Amino acid sequence: MGKLLAIPAVMVVLLAGALVWSGGAAHPRADFAFINRGDIYTLDLNRMSFMQDFRLTYGIREGLFSPDPETLRPVPTGAASYDISPDKKVWTFRLRPEAKWSNGDPVTAADYVFSWRRMLEQPGEYTYLFYYVTNAERYEAAYAKRAPFDFGTVGMKAVDPLRLRVELDDPVPYLPDLLAFPPFYPRHERSMAPFLLTQADGKTIYDAAYTRPPHVVTNGPFVLTKWEYKVRLLLEKSPTYWDKANVRSDRLEMVVNENALSQFLQYDSGQVDWLADVKGDEAAELRAKGRTDLHSSPAFGTAFLTFLVQPTLPPGGGGGKNPLADARVRQALAMTIDKKFITDNITRMGELPARTYLPPDGTLPDFRWLPGPHQPAGGPTAPYAPEEVRALLPDAAGPAGPGLPYDVKRARALMADAGYPNGQGLPVLPILFNSENPTRAKIAQALKDQWRAALGVTIEVQQIEGKVYKERLSKKDYAIGLGAWYGDYPDASTFTDKYLSTSLQNDCDWRSKAYDDLCAAAKKEPDAAARVTLLSRAEHLIDTEVPIVPLYHYTNVSMSRSNVEGVLPNPRGTTIFKAVKVRR
């Protein structure tokens, strides 16, 4: 019997009550209480990259544009209107005069310039998105070297308090989607000033304490009023928000609970209204039980293995020569993963086994995937449309289709050709994952078993706390890791940009001039169809050289009752809290 189904109803109430009291003193019930995808890593715009951080940020901050709560298309919020030059390289935004910070100060064009400049002077994982702006990349490089460079030549200018001009190197038709993404949100410089730190080299950074109450000043529909570490975050409707009449709840609470079973207990007893992410076993068990409050949808995201491909392994990867620098070893490992076993026996929520990095969920209807290098004779030669890829994936092991097939015989030949016949001579490689994710623990063990059986390869499973795991990947102190990527905006570049040689998010340190050149050409290509062709060719390099191995395309799974509005799953996993309401 499943572990959820085995708990008597009276125990659910008692256990959930214990969970509430274990968090500290009793407090009034929020209008809407939820458990996020995980605990907050950071609310510093420069440093954030995890979905749960972005999700909360959409509630407390706002940019020139914001995702529409239903369609997720960018709609003007901080911007009252805008003009585009005939060559589509200059955008002038007129800010909403009624927009205020939570301390009552007006939101000005200078607040956007300050925040964007911080992204260049204290680079984060999304700084590369600002490279569309004229001279932004050059300024970042000069600042890093403490070399002189006139910031006035960078294409972000406060014309006056309510006018912001953005100058681009090339047309960017999806600029509103970028501007709706938190790295492009403004910040309040005066409230951050006490947290300014000057480093020994003269560069300035801000202590992340500026993001915590009572210091934090924001401009979104809610104000962060309390942050109890590992317990909860409390958000209250902002009295200064320009559109407060359309904010449907007065008080939100994010409950921190990283145990899947106790999450369910809190939900089932009514202590929380929404589980943003229901994991693995619990989701499959509830699905089998026919729970109508379990909701799922195909996701704009892919789970994958990431390989560190630099020539030498770091200490965390075992040290010494790195066999993963050889594409033949990576391809052999990729072609001996039974991905259908993973989706049928571990994830079990209708996920599609993956052969491509970009998901075919339908978010990018015009994208095309090139046929893989082992396409059978007489097989299709034309690129695959999203619906064609989806049709192939239930039998992802077959030779036809994009990417690499499941092919043990070919994989063994590749390993032997690389100098590791039957795995001989290959060092023990650690596979790293975050310990609070039980699904990844099972996947890591399955991979260990499959690779041993197919290739004679020995893998060491390593689980570590989430923040340490993130840091290890970012610092490239690992060999193999379990990772994932969700698209941040509806364009293929939200996936392809991650693996540019210059990207801070390129955890595998894969460097391909051919790939960089294709992405650079796509950036300048004005024709939409030609641009898709370039990005398809770039994505094909990832799928065949496999610096990462796509495992499966996500399904977003959440739980909410019929009286909760504004939280149903969507491909990007985005939630706009101003639209959330619980009908009591």
How does pLDDT run across 352-375, given as a tens digit for each residue? 999 999 999 999 999 999 999 998
Q: At what angle do helices 9-22 and 260-268 cross, to 10 degrees?
A: 110
pLDDT of residue 26: 58
Average pLDDT for residues 483-509, to the nearest whole number? 94
Judge whether residue 535 has pLDDT over 70: yes
The CATH architecture assigned to 1-273+561-584 reads 3-Layer(aba) Sandwich (3.40)
Per domain, the residue ranges of the chain are 1-273+561-584, 298-556
Q: Does 1-273+561-584 match 298-556 in CATH topology?
A: no
Phi, psi of 79 (to 5 degrees): -90, 130
pLDDT of residue 4: 55
Q: At what angle do helices 438-455 and 327-334 cross, to 10 degrees?
A: 110
For residues 530 and 538, what is the distance between their CA atoms, to the nearest angstrom? 13
Query: What pLDDT band is residue 1 in, cutting at 50, 70 and 90?
Result: very low
- DSSP state letter for 362: S
pLDDT of residue 14: 45
pLDDT of residue 403: 96
Average pLDDT for residues 193-207, to the nearest whole number? 94
Judge whether residue 23 has pLDDT over 60: no
Average pLDDT for residues 165-191, to the nearest whole number? 97
HSE of 85 in the Cβ direction (CA atoms, 13 Å)? 14
Average pLDDT for residues 225-240, to the nearest whole number? 97
pTM of the model: 0.86
For residues 456 and 141, what is the distance between their CA atoms, to the nearest angstrom? 46
Residue appearing with tokens 């951050």: 192
Return the exposure string of 484-515: e unless at least 16 CB atoms fall within 10 Å of the residue's CB, then b: bbbbbbbbbbbbbbbbbeebebbbbbbebeeb
Pick the range with the lowest mean pLDDT from 82-86, 139-143, 424-428, 465-469.
465-469
Average pLDDT for residues 202-222, to the nearest whole number? 96
Q: What is the mean pLDDT of the chain?
A: 93
pLDDT of residue 258: 86
Judge whether residue 296 has pLDDT over 80: yes
Widest pairwise Cα distance in the chain: 69
Query: What pLDDT band is residue 24 in, cutting at 50, 70 and 90?
Result: very low
Average pLDDT for residues 214-220, to the nearest whole number? 97
Fold of 298-556: Dipeptide-binding Protein; domain 3 (3.10.105)
pLDDT tens-digit series, residues 439-449: 999 999 999 99
Pick the range with the lowest mean pLDDT from 144-148, 379-383, 501-505, 548-552.
379-383
